[in-house]
């Protein structure tokens, strides 16, 4: 019986392809128009010619972005899984190591991190096949204390969930509106037990918070520290106490790698590689579930769902990972900043899934451990000289040869193993090895996961995407302009940097084992900031033209004017065809589009510029912003009401204000001119473009002002 099913999305695929054909004709026409007219300028040194060249460049950037984007619309698919068709016994399921990452308790509230840990421990998967690791990149004593407390709580929580078939296995979510369905009356016992467990949860929370607040346990990041590995719960020890099925607990391990101020640590990528090694000699599961600390498990059977792909003999040999979407529990209906990044998770990932597979999104994916060490179907070169690639640990090298991760359940984890694990988590261990290059997560890009996934696809690995109705994982999104923008700047800078490196999708990717259409998709993502140049030019050239009396579009009576109008409408329709069928309305489309325009001339543009400047001066920013997961209630209220919050956006305000003012003045001057001369034919194109920007600005201003009034 089939374990999974893949369907090409119809009729949208046919519509996309027809549109592709139609739109490419218009684009070609526009290129012809611009190029043929550029030759008519008597001198290239006039302002008029300059304006033409600039607007042409702007149009070219739109066309190139559109062209790359077609890769993501070529063959969108949706997948379905049938976990009930898995025939093997539970004891034959492959083991999974869950890796949870945290870095800073100030930005990542410890109790929330523990909720993620507990939700992972509570996955509906045979406990002896499950191990949960917390990589604490902050090395914070309070986090260690909290995980011990959390483990104690889990001993009550897991049996409770299992006994009553609770689906919402993240305690915090269970006691929130998210868990409403699970809290309905089951029987009298349930009511009593629920009350009790709630008290226990509050007690746990209280213990952690008071330990931190009273200063009894240090809640600070320790930037200069030795490696530390501690087994919090050894499932083997428990077996001896003959735990019954309801109360069995998975292995739980706390890891904090060595950090030294003068040593490069490579952020999450570095932490992940250290954890790969440590977990390799402890449980060495063939599959990994990777979770950011704010992404808790919301569907206990997600692991079984992922296995519907990994156990499928047709897919499995080349399948590196199964990606789930990032779904955020705090997205509001209007979502003014488009924090849910709809285009990525609802369009592009499905599109790439139909080619070679979705992007590795950093969290919520089930990865084959071996994929980080080898290429599919090739002789394993790295195992010929393992020390050069993997470093000197014999124990770790032996783990590579192990028969697809026989979890070592026979023995209790020994002190010697922990000692070795500590060595594997030192800074020096990676010296002179291939970690961060050929092996493990790549250090070549700050978006370690996306880029590592890209390299996996280059090696010929595939991936699949599963978007179930009930979110398998839920995370928390930033809810103000500053939070979302800084995330965007970080991502765009990293992607652009990858696009400008020698490993870019157009040269390196095309020559690799990656499929051609897949290369286009990656080019779309890595050169997305190019598009923002198009936006910036469109936000500045037509309006400046109005001020200086320079015409950049054909006259209304010129048939070419119609071509521009058609191009505009066609672009908007393409855009709508993505967001509206995905449960959206014209309003949701507009919110998303407006967000893109605002971010396009600010965060995305600056992120791209940052990468270009760094490329020219030859440095790479060593600072990386950690997204804030401690959500401010006031900010959340504003966001939920659809009111913009620009506080703290800093330099991003400069382009936003400049382009707003420029278009407003240009528009007024243009209108004035029309009134005086009674002729509008030659400026209408520019007036339309400017008014479009003015319209965006006005709708934003209305939102801001109306909020000031009510608050
Ligand atoms: O030095 C660091 C920095 C971050 N993290 C952890 O990495 C995760 C992601 O960091 P976050 O600031 O939340 O990044 P986002 O921008 O929200 O996340 C996206 O982008 C990141 C790359 O910048 C990816 O690592 C993430 O998986 C992806 O979800 C968090 O759990 C952090 O605790 C570390 O372990 N060490
Ligand atoms: Mn995050």
Peptide bond into 11 cis (omega under 30): yes
Supply the residue whose CA is at minimum distance from atom 23 of ligand 1.
Answer: 447
Task: Give yes or no for residue 405 having a pLDDT over 70.
Answer: no
User: How confident is the model at residue 308, as a pLDDT?
Assistant: 98
Q: 3-state DSSP call for residue 192?
A: helix
Q: Please report the pLDDT score of residue 406 as a whole number.
A: 47
Predicted complex ipTM:
0.98
Burial of 226 (0-12, 13-18, 19+ CB in 10 A): middle
Average of per-residue pLDDT values in the chain: 93
| 110 touches ligand 1 (CB under 6 Å) | no
Exposed e or buried b per residue across 85-115, where buried means at least 16 C-beta atoms within 10 angstroms of its C-beta = ebeeeeeebbbbbbbbbbbbbebbbbbbbbb
Pocket test residue of 263, 358, 362 for ligand 1, highest count of atoms within 8 A of CB: 362
pLDDT greater at residue 18 or residue 335: 18
Q: Does ligand 1 come within 6 angstroms of the Cβ of 362?
A: yes
For residue 403, name the pLDDT band (cuts at 50, 70, 90): low
What pTM does this model have? 0.95
**Ligand 1 center to residue 187 CA distance, Å?**
42
| pLDDT exceeds cutoff 50 at 494 | yes
- The mean pLDDT of 505-509, rounded to a whole number, is 97
* Tokens found for residue 112: 């929330």
500 touches 528 (CB < 8 A):
no
Residue 185: the pLDDT is 74
Nearest CA to ligand 1 atom 32: 102
The per-residue pLDDT for 619 is 79
Separation of alpha carbons 539 and 535, rounded Å: 6
Average pLDDT over residues 179-199: 91
* Residue 620 predicted with pLDDT over 80: no
Residues 563-574, buried b or exposed e (16+ Cβ, 10 A)?
Answer: bbebbeebeeeb
pLDDT tens digits, 310-368: 999 999 999 999 999 999 999 998 889 999 999 999 999 999 999 999 999 999 999 99
Range scoring the smallest mean pLDDT among 64-78, 238-252, 261-275, 433-447: 238-252
Q: What is the mean pLDDT of residues 508-524?
A: 98
Give pLDDT, residue 242.
58
Q: Tell me: the pLDDT tens digits for 91-120? A: 999 999 999 999 999 999 999 999 999 999
pLDDT at site 402: 77
Mutate to test the pocket of ligand 1, among 292, 477, 630 (most ligand atoms within 8 A of CB): 292
- CB 158, CB 121: distance < 8 Å: yes
Taking the centre of ligand 1 as the mean of its atom positions, its distance from the CA of residue 611, in whole angstroms, is: 19
- pLDDT for residue 239: 59
Tokens of 116: 């993620």
Contact 283, 407 (CB under 8 A): yes
Ligand 1 centroid–CA 605 distance in Å is 22
Report how far residue 608's alpha carbon sits from residue 631's, in angstroms, rounded to the nearest whole number: 27
Region 142-160 average pLDDT? 97
Compute the distance from residue 648 Cα to the ligand 1 centre, in Å.
21
């Amino acid at each position: 019986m089939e374990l999974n099913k893949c369907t090409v999305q119809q009729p949208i695929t046919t519509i996309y392809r027809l549109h592709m054909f139609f739109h490419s004709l218009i684009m070609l026409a526009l290129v012809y128009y611009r190029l043929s007219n550029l030759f008519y300028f008597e001198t290239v040194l006039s302002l008029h010619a300059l304006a033409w060249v600039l607007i042409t460049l702007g149009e070219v950037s739109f066309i190139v972005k559109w062209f790359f984007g077609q890769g993501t619309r070529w063959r969108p698919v949706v997948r379905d899984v049938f976990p009930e068709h898995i025939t093997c016994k539970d004891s034959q399921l492959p083991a999974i190591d869950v890796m949870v990452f945290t870095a800073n308790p100030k930005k990542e509230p410890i109790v929330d991190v523990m909720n993620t840990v507990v939700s992972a421990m509570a996955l509906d998967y045979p406990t002896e096949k499950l191990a949960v690791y917390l990589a604490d990149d902050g090395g914070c004593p309070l986090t260690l204390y909290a995980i011990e407390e959390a483990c104690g709580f889990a001993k009550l929580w897991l049996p409770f969930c299992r006994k009553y078939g609770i689906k919402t296995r993240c305690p915090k979510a269970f006691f929130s509106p998210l868990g409403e369905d699970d809290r309905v009356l089951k029987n009298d016992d349930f009511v009593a037990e629920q009350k009790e467990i709630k008290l226990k949860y509050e007690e746990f929370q209280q213990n952690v918070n008071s330990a931190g607040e009273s200063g009894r346990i240090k809640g600070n990041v320790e930037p200069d520290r030795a490696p530390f590995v501690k087994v919090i719960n050894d499932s083997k020890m428990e077996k001896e106490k003959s735990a019954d099925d309801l109360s069995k607990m998975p292995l739980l391990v706390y890891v904090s790698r060595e950090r030294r101020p003068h040593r490069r640590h490579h952020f999450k990528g570095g932490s992940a590689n250290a954890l790969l090694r440590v977990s390799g000699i402890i449980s060495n599961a063939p599959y990994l579930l990777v979770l950011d600390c704010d992404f808790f498990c919301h569907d206990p059977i997600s692991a079984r769902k992922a296995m519907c792909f990994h156990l499928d003999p047709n897919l499995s040999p080349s399948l590196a990972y199964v990606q789930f979407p990032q779904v955020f529990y705090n997205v509001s209906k209007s979502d003014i900043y488009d924090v849910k990044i709809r285009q990525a998770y609802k369009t592009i990932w499905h599109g790439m899934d139909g080619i070679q597979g979705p992007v590795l999104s950093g969290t919520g994916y089930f990865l084959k451990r071996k994929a980080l060490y080898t290429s599919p179907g090739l002789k394993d070169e790295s195992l010929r000289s393992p020390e050069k690639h993997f470093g000197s640990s014999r124990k770790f090298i032996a783990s590579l040869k192990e028969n697809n991760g026989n979890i070592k359940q026979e023995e209790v984890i020994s002190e010697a193993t922990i000692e070795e694990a500590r060595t594997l988590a030192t800074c020096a261990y990676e010296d002179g090895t291939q970690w961060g290059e050929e092996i493990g997560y790549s250090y070549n890009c700050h978006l370690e996961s996306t880029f590592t996934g890209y390299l996996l696809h280059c090696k010929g690995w595939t991936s699949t995407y599963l978007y179930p109705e009930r979110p398998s994982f839920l995370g928390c999104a930033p809810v103000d302009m500053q939070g979302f923008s800084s995330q965007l700047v970080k991502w765009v800078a990293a992607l652009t940097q990858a696009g400008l490196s020698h490993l870019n999708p157009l040269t390196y990717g095309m020559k690799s084992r990656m499929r051609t259409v897949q290369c286009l998709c990656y080019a779309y993502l890595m050169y997305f900031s190019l598009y923002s140049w198009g936006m910036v030019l469109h936000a500045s050239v037509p309006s400046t033209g109005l001020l200086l009396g320079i015409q950049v579009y054909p006259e209304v009576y010129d048939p070419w004017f119609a071509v521009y109008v058609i191009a505009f409408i066609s672009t908007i329709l393409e855009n709508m065809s993505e967001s509206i069928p995905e449960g959206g309305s014209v309003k949701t489309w507009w919110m998303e589009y407006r967000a893109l325009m605002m971010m396009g001339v600010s965060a995305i543009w600056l992120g791209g510029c940052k990468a270009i400047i760094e490329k020219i001066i030859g440095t790479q920013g060593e600072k990386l912003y950690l997204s804030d997961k401690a959500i401010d209630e006031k900010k959340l209220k504003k966001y939920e009401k659809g009111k913009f919050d620009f506080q703290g956006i800093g330099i991003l305000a400069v382009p936003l204000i400049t382009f707003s003012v420029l278009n407003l003045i240009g528009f007024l001057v243009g209108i004035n001119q029309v009134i005086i001369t009674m002729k509008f034919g030659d400026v209408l194109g520019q007036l339309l473009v400017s008014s479009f920007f003015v319209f965006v600005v006005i709708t934003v201003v209305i939102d801001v002002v109306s909020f000031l009034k009510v608050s």
